[in-house]
């Protein structure tokens, strides 16, 4: 074995070559060795896949740091062991779903076999389904846990594994760390019981679909508006993912009769042949949908990612140009609509709340304050929003919530971001705008006039492999040690360090604690609040080889005709902040 590999990597490779792994896997490893592919071998074996903010995610292939039968198997056996420890003597029930990615059905079946081999009752979706439906199914079927095989919007080489607890939320502390501990305790492939028990596996499908769709119909606020605007021209793309199974059904159930599906992207396909990245945040991924919208003069474009937990949207601006709305804009619009509708219906009693993440636009908090509605900030990751819902259940009522990365939730039937329900709500608020003689873009402008024009920029730096992970950690350490004294002409006045849960006033030196609980715990995130109201957040991704910098700026918008000039000024300010901080 090459001497260019470190001792742990060599040990992991040797374990896989000599252990009870299948011959095809061993042959692939040997080929990499023979060809001297040291970088690939190092990235594949230098560590084991770990649970991050959303579970486990990685490129598919051989190795301890890749998604394959054995890493999925070890995670599931560890998950099983933890469930048995946590629920002694109980009949444990687990729900499982998967997306359209390559190997997803294969991995899902392996998980079903392992859970059932460990004596657990398994509810396995018979075909691909959206991630939010898995969250719903966990609670609907009274399960103790759930999982979905998906890598969300990652490139085609990836797959992943999201673990859920009995409330339909992705696992949080202490469960996430305890599951990792149990996975790490599996020191041999022989510890994994792959011998499934067919009698404990039940296939589910349409019966759960119907109940899930009822909750989406229940979310609707203005069915009379939809009835009047039933011909609203909607373009929808599932980008080769699971959304095709339920988004058209949900829209039809609400009464929308003019939904135009992008047929070239309607077929589920793990190779995602029409896009570079199957991510509705990417302009390129929305191209076919926008082109169809131009052809038919549509009112709205919506597109979901492969596991249908995120949704992107596009609308026409006053110049007749199609523009993509970002996640902060859409989250804001949904909350703006919901708050207004709840107020009009006399449903705001002082016990309602909204939840968002700390890197999501502050316009949501401002709007909530104006309506007397609480707005809870959480760490990044929808599981933290779900934690707030769980903690406040029976005490306060959840209206809705969202995060900047195109994930939104309406109501509490699901405990994860829900693109199916969001598509329905976005269509409804577009119909509401049209019923009032406005476009969705006009609705956005109206919101900015009332609350200030908030603009957010995201700078995402990719740092792959072991060296990249080390560089990201060094960048965070450098930022903590060397805070800037001026950013784009504005002085930092507060630094919030979520790693030690402190807030420091940079003028007085006073340090106060950030309360733990309600979606808040220690996390490697730093935020700078500037004197002019701008905000900069630095956060390493928990699921991707990236470090992300979120920049938020705002200004007043006196007149709709000033939209373009104000936007240009805010974008220039974000660029100046990026330049000052050297984020390239």
Which amino acids are annotated catalytic?
152
Residue 352 Rama label (left phi>0; alpha psi -120 to 50; beta): beta
Q: How distant, in Å, are the alpha carbons of 72, 159, 462 from that of 61?
A: 12, 10, 21
H or E stretch at 569:
helix 563-581
DSSP 171: P
Q: Tell me if 423 sits within 8 A of 236, measured CB to CB.
A: yes
Terminal Cα distance for the chain, rounded: 37
CB atoms within 10 A of CB 184: 12
CB atoms within 10 A of CB 78: 24
Half-sphere exposure of 145 (CA within 13 A, CB side): 27
Instruction: Give a three-class secondary structure readout of 182-236.
Output: HHHCCCCHHHCCCCCCHHHEEEECHHHHHHHHHHHHHHCCCHHHHHHCCCCCEEE
Q: Cα separation of 174 and 51, whole Å? A: 12
Q: Cα separation of 11 and 40, whole Å? A: 16
Q: What Rg do the C-alpha atoms of the chain give, in angstroms? A: 24
Tell me which residue has tokens 């021209």: 233
DSSP string, 67-103: BSHHHHHHHHHHHHHHHHHHSTTS--EEEEEE-SSTT
The C-alpha torsion from 73 through 77 and 83 to 84, rounded to 10°, is 150
What phi and psi values does residue 462 have, to the nearest 5 degrees?
-90, 130
Residue 121, classed as helix, strand or coil, is strand
Tell me which residue has tokens 């219906």: 345
CA-closest candidate to residue 262, choices 241, 279, 282: 241
Q: Cα separation of 525 and 53, whole Å? A: 13
CB atoms within 10 A of CB 335: 28
């Amino acid at each position: 074995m090459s001497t260019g590999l470190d001792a742990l990597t060599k040990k992991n490779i040797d374990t896989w070559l000599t252990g009870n792994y299948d011959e095809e896997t061993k042959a692939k490893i040997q080929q990499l060795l023979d060809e001297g592919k040291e970088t690939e071998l190092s990235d594949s074996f230098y560590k084991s896949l770990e649970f991050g903010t959303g579970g486990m995610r990685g490129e598919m292939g051989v190795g301890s740091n890749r998604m394959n039968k054995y890493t999925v198997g070890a995670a599931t056996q560890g998950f099983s062991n933890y469930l048995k420890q946590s629920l002694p003597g109980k009949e444990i029930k687990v729900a499982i779903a998967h997306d359209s990615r390559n190997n997803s059905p294969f991995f899902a079946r392996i998980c079903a076999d392992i859970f059932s081999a460990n004596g657990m009752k398994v509810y396995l979706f018979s075909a691909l389904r959206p991630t939010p439906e898995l969250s719903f199914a966990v609670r609907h079927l009274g399960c103790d846990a759930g999982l979905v095989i998906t890598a969300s919007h990652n490139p085609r080489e990836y797959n992943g594994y999201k673990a859920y607890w009995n409330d339909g939320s992705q696992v949080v502390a202490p469960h996430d760390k305890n599951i990792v501990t149990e996975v790490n305790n599996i020191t041999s492939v022989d510890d994994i019981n792959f011998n499934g028990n067919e009698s404990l596996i039940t296939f589910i499908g349409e019966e759960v679909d119907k109940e899930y769709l009822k909750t989406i119909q229940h979310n609707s606020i203005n069915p009379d508006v939809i009835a009047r605007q039933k011909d609203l021209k909607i373009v929808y793309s599932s980008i080769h993912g699971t959304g095709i199974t339920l988004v058209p059904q949900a829209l039809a159930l609400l009464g929308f009769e003019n939904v135009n599906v992008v047929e070239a992207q309607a077929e589920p396909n793990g190779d995602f042949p029409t896009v570079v990245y199957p991510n509705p945040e990417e302009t390129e991924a929305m191209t076919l949908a926008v082109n169809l919208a131009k052809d038919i003069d549509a009112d709205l474009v919506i597109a979901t990612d492969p596991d249908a937990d995120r949704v992107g949207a596009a609308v026409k601006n006053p110049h007749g140009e199609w523009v993509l709305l970002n996640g902060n804009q859409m989250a804001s619009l949904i909350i703006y609509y919901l708050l207004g509708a709840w107020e009009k219906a006399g449903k705001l009693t002082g016990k309602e709340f909204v939840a968002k993440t700390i890197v999501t636009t502050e316009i949501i908090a401002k709007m909530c304050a104006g309506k007397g509605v609480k707005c809870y900030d959480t760490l990044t990751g929808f599981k933290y929003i779900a934690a707030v819902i769980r903690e406040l259940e029976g005490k306060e009522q959840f209206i809705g919530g969202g995060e900047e990365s195109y994930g939104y939730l309406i109501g509490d039937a699901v405990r994860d971001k829900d693109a199916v329900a969001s598509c329905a709500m976005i269509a409804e608020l577009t119909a509401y705008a049209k019923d009032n003689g406005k476009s969705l873009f006009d609705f956005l402008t109206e919101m900015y006039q009332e609350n200030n024009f908030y603009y957010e920029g995201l700078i995402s730096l990719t740092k792959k492999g072991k060296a990249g992970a080390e560089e990201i950690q060094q960048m965070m350490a450098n930022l903590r040690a060397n805070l800037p004294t001026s950013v784009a002409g504005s002085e930092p006045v507060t630094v919030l360090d979520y790693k030690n849960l402190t807030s420091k006033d940079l003028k007085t030196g006073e340090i106060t604690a950030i309360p733990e609980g309600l979606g808040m715990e220690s996390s490697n995130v730093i935020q700078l609040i500037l004197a002019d109201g701008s905000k900069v957040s630095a956060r390493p991704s928990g699921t991707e080889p990236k470090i992300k910098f979120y920049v938020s700026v705002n200004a007043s918008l006196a007149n709709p005709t000033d939209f373009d000039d104000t936007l240009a000024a805010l974008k220039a300010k974000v660029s100046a902040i990026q330049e000052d901080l050297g984020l390239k």
